[in-house]
A = this chain, B = another copy of it.
Amino acid sequence: MEIALLGFGVVGSGAAEVLEENRELIRRRLGEEINVQYILDLREFPNHPLGNRVVHDIAPILSDPEVRIVAEMMGGSHPAYEFTKAALEAGKSVVTSNKEVVAAFGDELLQIAAEHGVSYLFEASVGGGIPILRPLRDDLASNEILSVSGILNGTTNFILTKMKRENTAFADALKEAQALGYAEANPTADVEGIDAARKIVILAAISFGKLLSPEKIPVQGISGITPEQTALCAELGFSVKLIGHTEKQGEKILALVAPHAVPETSPICHVEGVNNGILVNANIVGKTFFYGPGAGKLPTASAVVGDILSIFDGGIRLPKWEKAGATDYADPQARVCRRIFCLAGCSKCAEKSKPFFGYETYLAKDGKFVFVSRPMTEKEMANALKECGKELLWTLPVLD
């Protein structure tokens, strides 16, 4: 059973390591060995045992009929998309960790795979090593999925955990994440929620069959979160987490990324450090939760190789996704949720403001008061703020 690896960076070399480390186990499972016949990379790896498999051109891979599976771990949209398309059209199955390509072109690539009778799998693109996409699609197949919410980015969760535990400022926590290799030199994609947006779009497509565009959903990152917000939320029994959330609203789909206050009663609240945690709410089973390492060389490679084994094991039925049209997007402003508010004012103001937001208890200190509101839309929030007349210092939606 021959495969090709596209990209021999962190994930690609991790996949090679998994195939070597668990060679015997894989042979027992499949009854045959998996051989890495080609590695496509611009670089040479003269000292690697697989160094003699390195090629710099996709052509020999596409034309070799022995290669049944191509594992794309290049990152970035191009040429990863073009190579994936060419491999599928050449009758090869493709597995990938590349959420950028799946989020942008997943509908088209699944369609091409179906036309050529091959597979396109991407378990590694969301939640790293956590089994989530197949459980969501296959194990919960008897359920209508109502919503999916979770911590989808380990870098931001590391930063927020540090801010909560050690009262660190965002900029300092980011620096430490960079020093430890958890954040890149240019951290924008992680910190501003772009990475999480790609992942929630994939989860929405698995759940609802329509592929939204990550650019067309509201995305807010964590650079505006302060240690004070984190501390006040903790006093109320909440952790601040960067949440990707999607839910069905009638025929429309709501999807967004934003910092949320998560109550201690939710398993998401206890996801710390670089881990990911994804909560699924489905109409029969209720709430199930999936947790583990959301990134990193070996966890991601675990999922890539898992997909390779599934294909060799046979029997995969691919989902069909449609590109979402303008009318498929729900209005994010219509979302109803509780919110934590921090308003300027004294205890007296806090007492007076109760009816507008529907709370009983609050914290008052340093000329501001903090409370958890009743569930409300953004419009109801604006009205309540107007009616109570106090200055809004900050607000965070609650993930219930």
Contact = CB atoms under 8 A, between A and B. Distances in A.
A134 B142 contact: no
Contacts of A131: 131, 135, 139-140, 288
Interface in A211-270: 265, 267, 270
Contacts of A309: 138, 141-142
Nearest to A143: B302
Interface in A267-313: 267, 270-272, 282-293, 298-299, 301-303, 305-306, 308-310, 313
Given A142-B302, A142-B305, A309-B142, A288 B292 contact: yes
Interface string A24-65: 011001000000000000000000000000000000000000
Given A18-B142, A26-B142, A138-B306, A284 B313 contact: no
A25 B302 contact: no
Given A135-B134, A267-B270, A286-B292, A314 B313 contact: no
Nearest to A135: B131
A325 interface: no
B288 A290 contact: yes
Contacts of A144: 22, 25
A262 B309 CA distance: 34
Given A142-B22, A143-B302, A306-B142, A286 B293 contact: yes
Contacts of A283: 21-22
Contacts of A306: 138-143
Interface centre among A26, A139, A265, A310 (most CB of B within 10 A): A139
Interface string A126-166: 00011100110011111110000000000000000000000
Contacts of A129: 284-286, 288
A316 interface: yes
Contacts of A21: 283-284
A365 interface: no
A192 interface: no
B293 A291 contact: no
Given A25-B144, A310-B138, A317-B313, A18 B284 contact: yes
Contacts of A22: 142-144, 283-284
Contacts of A285: 129-130, 292-293, 298-299, 302-303
A195 interface: no
Nearest to A144: B25
Contacts of A367: none
A123 interface: yes
A181 interface: no
Contact of A287 (B287, B292, B310): B292
A339 to B, nearest CB: 24
Contacts of A293: 285-288
Contacts of A282: 302
A54 to B, nearest CB: 23
Nearest to A310: B138
Given A131-B131, A134-B139, 16 more contacts: A21-B283, A130-B285, A135-B135, A141-B309, A141-B313, A142-B308, A284-B298, A284-B301, A284-B302, A285-B292, A285-B293, A285-B302, A286-B292, A287-B293, A288-B292, A291-B291
